[in-house]
Structures are given as structure tokens and as C-alpha cells.
A = this chain, B = another copy of it.
């Protein structure tokens, strides 16, 4: 039972975390899978400027569940819940048996769905649709780190096996959703629109443009690139750290807009905030998002975000 503060309304988010889509049993410590499951929902609330009230978990497990896996998954989820002061208020468990067309048992999968309830002052939650032409576009923290860590994880999963507790510097395994940032952006009437960077900057900015009926121009030089993405480039894993920052997913940073005259502190709730571009009137017949390079040329930025990873050990869709 959930009681929002007086004058607030209840916001609800739901997010699947599916084995082989969002995590792999042979790559992710169970605690990380649980942490990331809750983080997805918390990040959705953060993007609305909402305070978390309660979480509800639906979990389906194979009949012969891996020894202790579910307990460790819950440990990771509950540790993050405690850090963010959000009670796990209930849920549902089920078996997840799978059969092929002939009725033969196939590998069963772990399926989780997290529901977050949050609250925001009535009618004043942050929306994706509130941006105006001329607004400045900001992003929190740095981008591309989660994609870079996932690359490292796929190359040597064993090296990450002992990371069973949340720690900073692990943007893929233990992302820290920007809840305090979101409530500050909401309460301070700073942001005109907001979204979280779950599918990648190029994809999520395109969503924000679509919802606001606008286009956007971002400046290559302004995009904050995570040190792990720079390292992936330096080590020759990817041709370009910028590419990871533009298209890598699951960073769980916030992308928001604010009127050009609005004072936006360079740091909010301890996290850096960078201006990266400007909202523009909708450009007909062109992609909504353009990237201005150092040479002053504008290039259309295709939404090329996260498609999670695919089978056969390949780490992800497009990098």
C-alpha cells in the first residue's frame, strides 16, 4: 500500500529485465543483474523528476534454478533499493519453463519485470514533450562508459565475477540512476523536458525531439565521453570513443532541455551537467538530430542506439 505525499500524484514505470537481452548468466554476477533490474526503473522515475515510493518485482525462474542465483539477484536489487530508500513492496514469482514446437523442453530463461511507483507534484512531472525551440540541451555525467564496460565484460567475463557489490566506476554492471538529479531538475523548475539515456544518446534525443515536435543540433566537441570509452578506443577495441558515447546504451544518465536564459549549475547533486547542443524548429525532410563536427560541418545523426546484445557471444548490435 502506497501513500503519495499530499498534492502529489503517483507515477508508474515498468521495465523488463530478460536473460539474454539485458543480462547473461555467464557474464553478469547475479548481484549486478538484480542491481540493473531496479536501476532501469529508478532511471525512468529520475527522468520524470519523481521520487521513488515503492518497487514491485515479478520474477520468473527456471524450474531447476541455478544454485543461489535468485538469492544473489535479490541481494543486488535490495542493496540498491536500500541505497535509494525505496522499499520492495511486493511481487509475483512464477516458473519459466520453455518448450519447442514439439513439446520438448528447452533452456528456460530468467525473466524479471520491475515496477516502480514514484510521486511528483500534481501535473508537474518532467515530460519528454516539454522542450521549446531555442532550449539548450544538457546531459549529466559522461556517456559511453556502460557500452565500454560491456565490451570488456564480453571479452573476459571471469575478470568481473567477483564484482558482487555496487561500486563506482562500473557504469554497466552497477549504474547509479540520477534520482537526486531528477528531483532537483523538477523542484528547481530547471528542465523543460527530460529523458534518460537508456537506449543511447542518438536514440533517446530522437525520442525527445519527436515528443516535443522539434529538431536538435548537438556539438561533437561538447559530448562528455566516459574514461572507459576513451580507454576502449586507446586499446583499439573500437575505432571511436565518440561513437560509444553517441550510440552506446544503458548509461542511465539524464538528457534534458532548459530555456536558453535559465541558469543551470555545472554540477547538480554532485554530478556534472554539460550543455551539448540546442533544440531547433522541426526540419522537414531531414533527420531530427544533427551533429556539428569540429570542422563546422553538420551531419545527420542516425538513431543507432542500443539493441542490447545478440546471440553467439557477440556483445551487442551496433557500436
Contact = CB atoms under 8 A, between A and B. Distances in A.
Interface in A1-25: 1-4, 9-16, 18, 20-21
Interface centre among A54, A58, A101 (most CB of B within 10 A): A58
Interface stretch (A106-114, A220-228, A243-251): A106-114
Interface in A33-77: 54, 56-58, 60
Contact of A54 (B12, B89, B100, B107): B12
Contacts of A56: 12, 14, 115
Given A106-B100, A109-B98, A1 B92 contact: no
A20 B98 contact: yes
A123 B2 CA distance: 11
A204 to B, nearest CB: 15
Do most interface residues of chain A lie in helix, strand or loop, or is the interface mixed? Answer: strand
A125 B3 CA distance: 14
A16 B113 contact: yes
Counting every copy of the chain, the complex holds 2
B3 A92 contact: no
Contact of A311 (B2, B12, B94, B103): B103
Given A9-B1, A98-B20, A311-B97, A15 B92 contact: yes
Interface of A: 1-4, 9-16, 18, 20-21, 54, 56-58, 60, 89-92, 94-101, 103-107, 109, 111, 113, 115, 117, 122-123, 125, 310-313
Q: Which 5 A-B pairs have the closest CB atoms?
A: A113-B113, A103-B312, A99-B311, A103-B311, A2-B10
